[in-house]
Amino acid sequence: METSTSDINFISINKLWEICKRRWVPGLGVFIPIVMILFIAAYLKKPLYEAQGKLLFQKSNTISSLTGVGTEIGKLEALTRNTENSPLNTEAQVVRSVSVVNNTISRLNLKDEQGQPLTVDIFISRLNVQEIKGSDVLAVSYKDNNPETAASVVNMLMSVYLENYESLYKMEVSTARKFLEKQLPIAEKIVRLGEANLAAFREKNNVVSLQDEKAESVKQITEIQGKIAGIKNQIANISSQAQEIRKQLGMNSQAAVAQTALSQSVGVQETLKQIQQIEFQIVDKRAVFQDTHPEMMGLENKLVALKQLLQGQIQQVSETQQVTTNSNLQLGQMKQQLAAKLVELESTRLGLVSELASSLSYEASYKQRLNKIPRLEQQERQLEGKVRAAQSTYSLLLQKLQESRIAENQTVGNASKISEALVPQAPVSSAIVYYLSGALLASLAAFATMYILDVRDKTIKTFDEAKELLGLTILGVIPTFGKSKKSLRSHEELLENSTSLVVRDTPRSPISEAFRMLRANLKFMSADKELKVIVITSSVPGEGKSTVAANLALSMAQLERQVLLVDGDLHLPVQHKIWELNNSQGLSNLIVGQAEINTSVKKVMANLDVLTAGVVPPSPASLLDSKRMASLIQNFGSSYDFVIIDTPSLNIAADAATLGQMADGVLLVVRPGMVDSVNAAVACEILEKSGQNVLGQVINAVIPQNESHSYYYFTKESDSQEHSVATHNSQANRF
């Protein structure tokens, strides 16, 4: 089942109450001096008066908002978006700054109690500057023994702060104005330089409007390409016609031109007629005369002369054209028209070819320019961008310069005083508050002292701690002797005197009942196997193991069982003191064979014998860890119903572990307030590693008042025996 919150709170309060019960003496020793000192200080302390004034802060200055100039100057905004980072907190720190405080101290000439100038630390300790929640107001308060001084300090502090506030922002505006005045000529120079570079670029590259030029170039290229296509079609058509005419004439265009020129030349045609007439005459005369006839020779010579003349005329008419006299120099009307047509077509074709070459040249020129336009546009944009940026910077600087000059002459502060500090009439602190504070502080110091002492004390303090730490079965819980609380030392002295035998001396007491309950629990544990030899030990000396052994032996003897109590503590034997016996002969003498059992064992009461330790040997461990000791224990077990062996504490010697191997079981005595957790844990580890049959633990000398749950309700000896037995029987069922 999970522990509820109320249970946890109850456990915590209960634990604190236990600490207080255990440590109330040192707590009271701390509480009383502190309370007295604080009460005296409160009585002697002078009353303090507190004066308060208020400062109002606006996000932006009202005058700046109305004029529209300097609206960003002194604007109250936090640097981060953290909700706890308020601009008012920043201004509060400015009010508390050393410069403002020092100025206030010097103006009012403030002094401390020794007449020395008041220090900044003392001033700030009396000063309180805080934001009023839900408003834009700072409350400035100051405490002083003199009410007039408190009011004067607050008013002066606010005045100094406002002066510094206004002068600070005016200085910032002035610094900004000077900076702008210095930067403006530089910005203007940059603008002029950018404009000059842009103009030089446009002049160098013949740029007016690259966008329009690009559109116009595309348009012109399209038109030229259309024109080129038309010219090429015309040239193809003309070439086709010329080819057909050349086929009909059987000559090329150059020959046709020459033939046409000769046909149209009067001199050439006249000469041809004369040559034809001479040739006709020669034909006629050849029929009559021989070739050697003078008349025939005369006609031949005349023919040769005419042909030479014709050749000269042909060369003159046709210039460089080579036309022989054998060519047909007389074309018909049709051929002359075809030759003329051929010449016309050739002339037209040459004109179109020239026009085509010109158009192609224009097209290439436009394309070359069009290809340059993107790069020129990029350069122009860069130059224009620089000009625009420079112009924008110049315009902004000029505007800000004008604003700064105006802002320099207006109030730019966002803080104003809305409440003067009045002289306080009543002190803020009273004696009752100081007394209550002193009592609270003393109580806290006392609780802290008790808690620290309890935490540093590693001893097992209560029944619960012993049960939780050791984890052993609890066979008995023995309350402390007496009704009053005693120190550990006084209790040890009590254990060593005759009153330690409580079962014998006060058989009807609650302590005797506790030992009888221990006896009963041991009997219940031996239901299957009888326990005859029991070793009793403890973690450290002083836990009362010898007293527990003696009283347990008494309680067993009261059942009319034969019991032998052996003092196996050969280091610091105690049983002979408890029973007031002579210790000249005992266990050590029996082991070494210097005595007999019948002379060493002493009867102290009916059914109970005691074997004291005898002479303390130089090496107790070697005697106890011997066959003789094992034989003695075997003989004791045969002769008695119960054998109880009192052994040294486990932190002194390993005798208990040695004898535990020879016995039926080991019983560990634990005393709260005496043993610490470390020694108890070490003792349990020793018993565990040595393989002991640990029967359980006996919680000895329990103080009922220190227990958190009141495990026992012990009555006075005058109470009825039945009530005591019933109480312990009910408690035994708990373990």
- Helix axes of 333-407 and 147-204: crossing angle, nearest 10 degrees: 160
713: DSSP letter: -
Q: Pick from 255, 246, 257, 253: which is nearest to 327 by CA?
A: 255
411 in Cβ contact with 165 (< 8 Å): no
- Give the type of residue at 197: N
In this structure, the chain runs to a length of 735
- What are the pLDDT digits (tens) for 344-375? 787 888 888 888 888 888 888 888 877 878 88
Taking the mean position of all CA atoms in its chain, how far away is CA 566? 70
Residues pairing with 300 in the sheet:
none
Query: Alpha-carbon distance 91 to 76, whole Å?
Result: 9
CATH no. of 460-732 = 3.40.50.300
Parse the chain into domains and list their residue ranges.
251-376, 460-732
Predicted structure pTM score: 0.45
The pLDDT score that the predictor gives to residue 727 is 35
The pLDDT score that the predictor gives to residue 667 is 92
558: DSSP letter: T
**N-to-C CA span, the chain:** 21
- Return the SS3 of 4: coil
533 in Cβ contact with 662 (< 8 Å): yes
- What are the pLDDT digits (tens) for 470-487? 778 888 888 886 543 333
Q: What is the dihedral of CA 570, 575, 576, 579, to 10 degrees?
A: -170
Stretch (H or E) spanning 534: strand 533-538
566 in Cβ contact with 603 (< 8 Å): no
- Kindly provide the residue ranges of all beta strands, DSSP E only, lying in 579-732, ordered along the sequence: 602-605, 608-611, 642-646, 665-670, 694-702
85 in Cβ contact with 172 (< 8 Å): no
Query: Alpha-carbon distance 148 to 155, whole Å?
Result: 11
- Return the SS3 of 390: helix
118: DSSP letter: P
Q: What is the 3-state secondary structure (H, E, C) of 663-706?
A: CCEEEEEECCCCCEHHHHHHHHHHHHHCCCCEEEEEEEEECHHH
**Below-70 pLDDT ranges, the chain:** 1-19, 21-23, 38-39, 41-46, 59-85, 169, 250-266, 268, 313, 316-336, 410-413, 429-435, 438, 453-459, 461, 463, 481-499, 526-529, 704-735
Q: Pick from 327, 41, 386: which is nearest to 187 by CA?
A: 386
710: DSSP letter: -
* Long-range Cβ pairs for the range 95-99 (8 Å, 24+): 95/55, 95/129, 95/138, 95/140, 95/157, 95/161, 96/124, 96/127, 96/129, 99/164
